[in-house]
Amino acid sequence: MSLTVRDLRVVFHTGRGLVWAVDGVDLDVGPGEVVGLVGESGSGKSVTLRAIARLLHSHADTTGQVRWRGQELLTLSEPAMEQIRGGQIGMVFQEPMAALNPVLSIGLQIDEVLVAHTDLDAKARRRRALELLDQVGIAAGAARLGQFAHEFSGGMRQRAMIAIALAANPQLLLADEPTTALDVTIQDQILRLLLRLKDELGMALLLVTHDLGVVAETCDRVAVMYAGRICETGTVRDVFRKPHHAYTQALLRAMPSENTGEDFDEHARLVPIPGMAPRLDAPSPGCAFTPRCTVTEPRCGVERPVLLVEGDRTSACYARDRL
């Protein structure tokens, strides 16, 4: 494994008390692997990603282990962490318009990554920037380098952000809902682009999304998150064919089936998940999904199911065998 996350916990100190956003997450990403981290908004998946890259602000307490190629990231010094961020681990955000600095040219925003992580001189950096734009499919790169984010279209902005993230040839790309803000047609282009670049550069990809369709299309393995905890993990094929957690099953039933793999039951009706996303300021002693679950048993609400390992799958649900 190149990235190993163990018992990751993030607590936010807010004006109205504590919020347990990430509550003991275990996660593995192997070299060259594409792992999907899937869940509803507020499930803690984006916070997990930011905690891995240590991007959370000072009002967040992060504990646990994040091992990257044998190095513990959570205790690393800030300068050493800066070397890894953008160097070995690249990151793509959800909303390119917000993530790109509005008043700095795209060229400068690519260049500063190269300045930080390579020894290239100005000329070579410019050549590299042009090469990157070409790689992510932005034509007329020389003219584009001097332009600003507002002069790009939505898809082009996302391509530019990917170019920035890949500038220093990272071995792992953390992508936080990279297609959510885009039109459907462009979503597909960007996903294909990410997969192609992953193969070309031989890097691993940790993809955070709320869209099971995206997971089915792109990922090797998937981890399902609910209320700051991992429900289950496994290969996409296994999990989609036979979920081991009631929440995963509910999620799969709530999405149209043609995206979910070739063997899925095509006649199943869409079943929305009842109830609302859980509050994170008062974690339940049991499984957080209990109030919305249709297959509960008495112990679900009081005793938290532990994550059971079974071959290359893990799951934390008492109803696993009844699903």
Partner 1 sequence: MFVLARLLPGDPVSAMLGDRATDATVDRLTAQLGLDQSIPVQLLQFLGGAVQGRFGDSIAYHIPVTQLIADRLPATLTLTGLSMVIALVLAVPLAFVAALQADRWPDLIIRGVFQVGLSTPIFYVGLLLLTVFAAWLGLFPVGGYGDTVLEHLWHLFLPALTLAFSFAAVLMRSLRGAILSVLNAEFVDFARAKGIRQRLILFRHVLRNALIATVSLIGLNVGSLLGGAVITESVFAVPGVGRLMVDSIFARDYPVIQALTLALAVLVSLAFLLTDIVQMALDPRVGR
Contact flags string 176-205 toward partner 1, x per CB under 8 A: ------------------------------
CA–CA separation, 24 vs 162, rounded Å?
30
Q: Is 263 a residue that touches partner 1 (CB under 8 A)?
A: no
Pick 81 or 295: Cβ nearer partner 1? 81
Q: Spell out the residues 6+ positions from residue 132 whose beta carbon is closer than 8 angstroms to its own.
A: 110, 163, 166, 167
Nearest to 224 by CA among 254, 204, 195, 263: 254
CB-based burial of residue 255 (10 Å sphere; 0-12 exposed, 13-18 middle, 19+ buried)?
middle
Q: Is 87 a residue that touches partner 1 (CB under 8 A)?
A: yes
DSSP symbol at 218: H
Q: Is 169 a residue that touches partner 1 (CB under 8 A)?
A: no
Count how many Cα atoms sit within 13 Å of the Cα of residue 58 in the half-sphere of its side chain.
0
Among 6, 13, 150, 192, binds partner 1 (CB under 8 A): 150
DSSP symbol at 215: H
For residues 76, 82, 87, 91, the Cα torsion angle rounded to the nearest 10 degrees is 100
Pick 50 or 320: Cβ nearer partner 1? 50
Segment lying near partner 1 (by CB under 8 A), choices 82-90, 184-192, 231-239, 281-289: 82-90
Displacement of CA 298 from its chain's centroid (Å): 33
Among 36, 39, 42, 86, binds partner 1 (CB under 8 A): 86
Segment lying near partner 1 (by CB under 8 A), choices 114-122, 192-200, 258-266, 294-302: 114-122
Segment lying near partner 1 (by CB under 8 A), choices 87-95, 178-186, 263-271, 300-308: 87-95
Q: Is 93 a residue that touches partner 1 (CB under 8 A)?
A: yes
Among 61, 71, 98, 299, binds partner 1 (CB under 8 A): 98
Pick 93 or 318: Cβ nearer partner 1? 93
Pick 99 or 293: Cβ nearer partner 1? 99
Across-strand partners of 61? 11
Among 15, 16, 78, 262, binds partner 1 (CB under 8 A): 78
The C-alpha R_g of the chain, in whole angstroms, comes to: 20
CB 161 within 8 A of CB 99: yes
Binding site for partner 1 (CB under 8 A): 50, 53, 55, 78, 81-87, 90-91, 93, 95, 98-105, 112-113, 115-117, 148, 150, 161, 164-165, 168
